[in-house]
Structure 1
Amino acid sequence: MSITDCDAHFFGGNNMYQCILSDIDGTLLTDDHHMSPKTRDAIKSLDIPFLPVSARSPEGIYPILKENDIVCPMICFSGGLILNEKGQVLYENGMNYKQTEEVITFIKEKKFDCTINIYALHDWLVEDKEDPRVLREERIVKAEAQKGTLSSLDPSRKIHKLLCMCNPLYTKEIERNLKDRFPHCSIACSSDILIEIMNEGVTKADAINHLCDYYSIDKNDIVAFGDNYNDKEMLESVGMGIAMGNAPDDIKNIAKDVTSTNNQDGIFKALRKLHII
């Protein structure tokens, strides 16, 4: 796919670093799901591109950007979808209907204590809209699920993500079972209650490779922020991978630096330390 003049201009700049990437939940946002004023002002003052890189759908990211008057490209579904600042698809990698059906059938047969969410580009489908876990997610991401099942979608559609909202007592057990049964899927916990299931090869790091190809930037010139296990490959793949102070020790140990927590303006402090702002 060719790069538009607008895209090329967006990725201009003469900074030592050429791009800033950030996970959203637990990283860009505080625990009350808002961007702190210091973080917002730091991002808006950048003269290099900023992109959110999240397990969220586009509909879960747009409200954050709108609330903070930010226009930018985004990486969604943990790397399964890249949209430019106009909302046009630059890259996507999704499961087909049969693959998705197999995963859903397995989860139901095992009677795992979780509820299944189906994401296909702008569609978010759930069987029970009144499930408390779904209602909680709607409040957090400021988006509304649709009542439906896999059969509600055209069989030719790509499924960008299945999300299991789990009983936290069983999240790790469910994750192990899914990884054992579907070794070719990309499966990762994004919190103690959420398991993300994507197509083979989907990671935030893989999406960054495609982003770099499209915009002719070097991964070594990228700063990335993250706080959880689905950020691991991203933090390892870029020139400056920074873990938040609230990240697990396993993530802090692979990062090139550790900043303050998401509630303590960690992104703002790191950008200032790097003399980017």
Structure 2
Amino acid sequence: MLDVRGLRKVYEGSGRRVEAVRDLTFTVGPGELVCLVGPSGCGKTTLLKCVAGLLAPTGGEVLLEGRRVDGPPPAMAFVFQEYGRSLFPWMRVGENVELPLRQKKDLDRARRRALVRDALESVGLSDAAGAYPWQLSGGMQQRVAIARALAYEPRVLLMDEPFAAVDAQTRADLEDLVRGLWRERGITILFVTHDIDEAVYLGERVIVLSASPTVVREQLTVDLPAGRDQLRTRVDPRFAALRTRVYEQIQAAKRGDVPEVPDALTKSSTPPPR
């Protein structure tokens, strides 16, 4: 579904040259939920913007279903970290969700409204269509942002640290929401996070990035049960082992250590069946 090949990004300007991403290569299969983690400042957001076609890479390429991404693809949606800046405060919730659908000329008004209702129901906000974003809590605003992406009916959903600005309880609820929507709708999800526990809890696979300039340091298949639970999954010894492995790799990346030969914790990059 998604193929990143030798991606490289260099920022130049004002007499400075910064190589943010050096050589990133990985794939994401159809219907897979993959989490990206790495040290702070390693270029995760830059990578995601290149994948989304919002930023032109310096080298390499991104392919979506075999086609090169040269701009925002119609089959892809993006959920940003700063939900407060991605929602228009003067528009009601339903209008915010409907806005990108107006770009789809083949959708009439009735179909757009149906998609909005379905998306808001999916995120538990059926009664909030007439409210303004500023009347909602932070967690509810991020649900609106997720609903807007779902209403667009994407085949690939990119999420850039979408729960970083909410409290711990809301974060847990949103994690379960994303996994539930992923299993129900079969969307391919590439989820960027700085939270190791979140990556292991959410993902079917975790890609660990090096420090900047960024390369893929390791890929781990998360062989936890598909039906995950915030209490039981997080005390599972396997969860602890995977979390420890990812943490060790990130700390090694900060030190600049050369990646080790994968041990028994590191599996094939092929996603397990759901």
Q: Tell me if both proteins adopt one fold, taking TM over 0.5 as the criterion.
A: no
TM-score if structure 1 supplies the norm length? 0.34
TM-score if structure 2 supplies the norm length? 0.34
The structure with higher relative contact order (CA 8 Å, sep 6+) is: 2
